[in-house]
């Protein structure tokens, strides 16, 4: 383990993105930043009279008030040309405070840690030492910008370490189902990673092999579920999970292999895979799901599934019944990914890069402009307007809901996911692929230290310091890796 670094104030660089996420960041050359305050919410106590002592009270409960805005102050000198911060308009912007141990400060991706103030606004401007009335008072003239931000993200450099599990097929999908909650009178503490499912393909070249689901509970090792959802030789492509009761989690998987005698099919379980329940989707025999990203769920009431025929199906009852939403598909080519932004807004991408979108919960789907990729693998909607499509020919993005697209790079990419409008990961689709992270909305992608792999298939990010990726069998077992800060 490398020696830990105790940063000094001078080991830093400041950046802004005046035009918002996924636009060119600008280096603030001669700027300092003051203390940064992040109000977490005051604690208010609730009392009852103490029956054992007159005039005394006992604390029966407490509640946390609303958090406040994140605040800091940026100071710089006054020059003949306007400073970047002077030129900012009314729109909010990201402000980056990088901690830099070595190398050039004016390289955005050169940071050992970063503190990102998201949705920042200059709330007050102050000019100092503008004029002197004595010869000995020649301090430099300064300008100070008080900044107020909605959120603070604490960013780390990540590295991938492989997770051990016995799966012999490619790991096509990851579903993380726990909830973040503290221990209280209402129940035990829980973390998001207390319940994780991964899904596999059937073993290649073995008609008798069965695709499996593996589960990790309470941070334990991954183990195969007691039962398997589908028959021999049938892959799983797509896995999602959500709560259907106070303590009941439903996991849904989709069949990723055609069956000439049956339509598309999902299977669901409410008991962590002890029993699976199969449900037909549609009525067209031979239809199936071709990519793990083509099954998406916002909740039990908002689930979408895309098939090899370009059809989109919807369920609002936890997967028990399905309705076809595309009487005439935008394209008859396979749907490779669906991304849901809200109950009303979702996007889908076909294998050839065509994009479908809905703004009415799927009552109508219309064609957006083709994304530009000829071999799409995944899609992610950060907002109703900001959308990414990735494929074996690179990363493509739109800032206008798919009316126009631009190319970010030509790196073969199999999966992309964002935590918020700034922080995301992308995983390479080719053998020996690279995992990348971005903290500025995708304008810059930094490669993580390499890890042996045969190509990645899925990615899930839970926080700036925790993510998972899965992929093709490597070293005899399905690939799953955990991304955490570099020690």
DSSP 19-70: T-TTS--EEETTEEE---B-----EEEEEEE-TTSTT-EEEEEEEE-----E
Banded model confidence at residue 487, pLDDT cuts 50, 70, 90: confident
Who wins on pLDDT, 210 or 184? 210
Q: In the predicted model, is pLDDT for residue 135 greater than 90? A: no
Q: In the predicted model, is pLDDT for residue 139 greater than 90? A: no
Banded model confidence at residue 208, pLDDT cuts 50, 70, 90: low
Alpha carbon distance 444, 452 (integer Å): 23
What percent of the chain clears pLDDT 70, i.e. is strictly above it? 99
Q: What is the pLDDT of residue 170?
A: 96
Strands 142-156, 26-28: pairing is unpaired
Per residue in 7-43, pLDDT (tens digit) is 999 999 999 999 999 999 999 999 999 999 999 999 9
Banded model confidence at residue 203, pLDDT cuts 50, 70, 90: confident
Average of pLDDT values for 170-176?
A: 97
Q: In the predicted model, is pLDDT for residue 185 greater than 90? A: no
Residues of CATH 2.130.10.10 domain(s) within the chain? 160-485
What percent of the chain clears pLDDT 90, i.e. is strictly above it? 90
Q: What is the pLDDT of residue 412?
A: 97
pTM, to two decimals: 0.94
Banded model confidence at residue 134, pLDDT cuts 50, 70, 90: confident
Banded model confidence at residue 215, pLDDT cuts 50, 70, 90: very high
Alpha carbon distance 398, 372 (integer Å): 11
**CATH code linked to domain 12-39+69-156:** 2.40.10
What is the rounded average pLDDT for all residues in the chain? 95
Q: In the predicted model, is pLDDT for residue 383 greater than 90? A: yes
Banded model confidence at residue 2, pLDDT cuts 50, 70, 90: low
Q: In the predicted model, is pLDDT for residue 483 greater than 80? A: yes
Q: In the predicted model, is pLDDT for residue 205 greater than 60? A: no
Class of domain 160-485: mainly beta
Q: What is the pLDDT of residue 184?
A: 82
Residues of CATH 2.40.10 domain(s) within the chain? 12-39+69-156
Any idea of the CA torsion for 69, 75, 80, 85, to the nearest 10 degrees?
-20
Q: In the predicted model, is pLDDT for residue 1 greater than 50? A: no
Alpha carbon distance 151, 353 (integer Å): 34
Q: HEC profile for the chain? A: CCCCCCCCCCCEEEEECCCCCCCCCEEECCEEECCCECCCCCEEEEEEECCCCCCCEEEEEEEECCCCCEEEEEEEECCCCCCHHHHCCCCCEEEEEEECCCCCCCCCCCCCEEEEEEEEEEEEEEEECCCCCCCCCCCCCEEEEEEEEEEEEEEECEEEEECCCCCCCCEEEEEECCCCECCECCECCECHHHEEEEEECCCCCCCCCCCCEEEEECCCCCEECCCCCCCCCCCEEEEEEEECCCCCEEEEEEECCCCCCCCEEEEEECCCCCCCEEEEECCCCCCCCCCCECEEEEECCEEEEECCCCCEEEECCCCCCCEECCCCCCCCCCEEEEEECCCCCEEEEECCCCEEEECCCCCCCEECCCCCCCCEEEEEECCCCCEEEEECCEEEEECCCCCCCEEEECCCEEEEEECCCCCEEEEECCCCCCEEEECCCCCCCEECCCCCCCCEEEEEEEECCEEEEEEEEECCEEEEEEEEECC
């Amino acid at each position: 383990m490398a020696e830990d670094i105790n940063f000094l104030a001078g080991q830093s660089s400041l950046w802004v993105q005046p035009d918002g996420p996924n636009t060119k960041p600008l280096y603030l050359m001669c700027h300092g930043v003051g203390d940064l305050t992040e109000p977490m919410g005051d604690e208010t106590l609730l009392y009852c009279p103490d029956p054992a002592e007159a005039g005394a009270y006992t604390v029966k409960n407490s509640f946390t008030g609303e958090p406040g805005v994140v605040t800091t102050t940026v100071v710089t000198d006054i020059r003949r040309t306007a400073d970047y911060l002077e030129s900012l308009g009314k729109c909010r912007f990201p402000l980056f405070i990088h901690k830099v141990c070595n190398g050039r400060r004016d390289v955005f991706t050169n940071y050992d840690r970063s503190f990102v103030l998201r949705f920042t606004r200059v709330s007050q401007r102050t000019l100092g030492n503008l004029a002197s009335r004595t010869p000995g008072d020649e301090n430099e003239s300064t300008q100070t910008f008080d900044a107020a931000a909605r959120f603070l993200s604490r960013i780390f450099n990540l590295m991938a370490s492989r997770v051990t599990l016995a799966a012999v097929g490619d790991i096509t999908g990851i579903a993380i189902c726990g909830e973040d909650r503290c221990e209280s009178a209402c129940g035990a503490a829980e973390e998001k990673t207390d319940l994780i499912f991964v899904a596999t393909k059937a073993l290649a070249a073995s008609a008798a092999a069965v695709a499996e689901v593996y589960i990790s509970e309470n941070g334990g090792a991954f183990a195969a579920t007691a039962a398997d959802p589908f028959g021999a030789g049938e892959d799983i492509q797509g896995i999602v999970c959500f709560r259907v009761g106070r303590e009941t989690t439903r996991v849904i998987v989709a069949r990723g292999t055609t069956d000439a005698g049956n339509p598309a099919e999902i299977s669901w379980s409410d008991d962590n895979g002890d029993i699976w329940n199969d449900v037909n989707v549609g009525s067209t025999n031979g239809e199936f799901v071709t990519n793990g990203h083509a099954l998406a769920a916002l909740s039990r009431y908002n689930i979408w599934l895309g098939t090899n025929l370009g059809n989109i199906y919807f369920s609002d009852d936890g997967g028990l019944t399905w309705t076809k939403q595309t009487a005439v598909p935008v394209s008859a080519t396979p749907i490779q990914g669906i991304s849901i932004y809200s109950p009303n807004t979702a996007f889908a991408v076909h294998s050839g890069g065509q994009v479908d979108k809905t703004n009415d919960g799927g009552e109508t789907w219309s064609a957006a402009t083709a994304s530009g990729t000829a071999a799409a693998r995944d899609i992610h909607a950060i907002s109703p307007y900001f959308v990414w499509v990735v494929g074996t020919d690179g990363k493509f993005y739109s800032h206008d809901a798919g009316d126009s697209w631009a190319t970010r790079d030509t790196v073969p990419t199999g999966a992309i996911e964002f935590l918020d409008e700034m922080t995301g990961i992308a995983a390479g689709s080719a053998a020996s692929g690279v995992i990348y992270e971005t903290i500025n909305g995708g304008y810059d992608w930094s490669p993580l230290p390499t890890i042996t792999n045969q190509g990645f298939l899925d990615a899930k990010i839970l926080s700036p310091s925790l993510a998972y990726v899965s992929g093709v069998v490597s070293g005899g077992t399905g690939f799953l890796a955990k991304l955490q800060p570099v020690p």
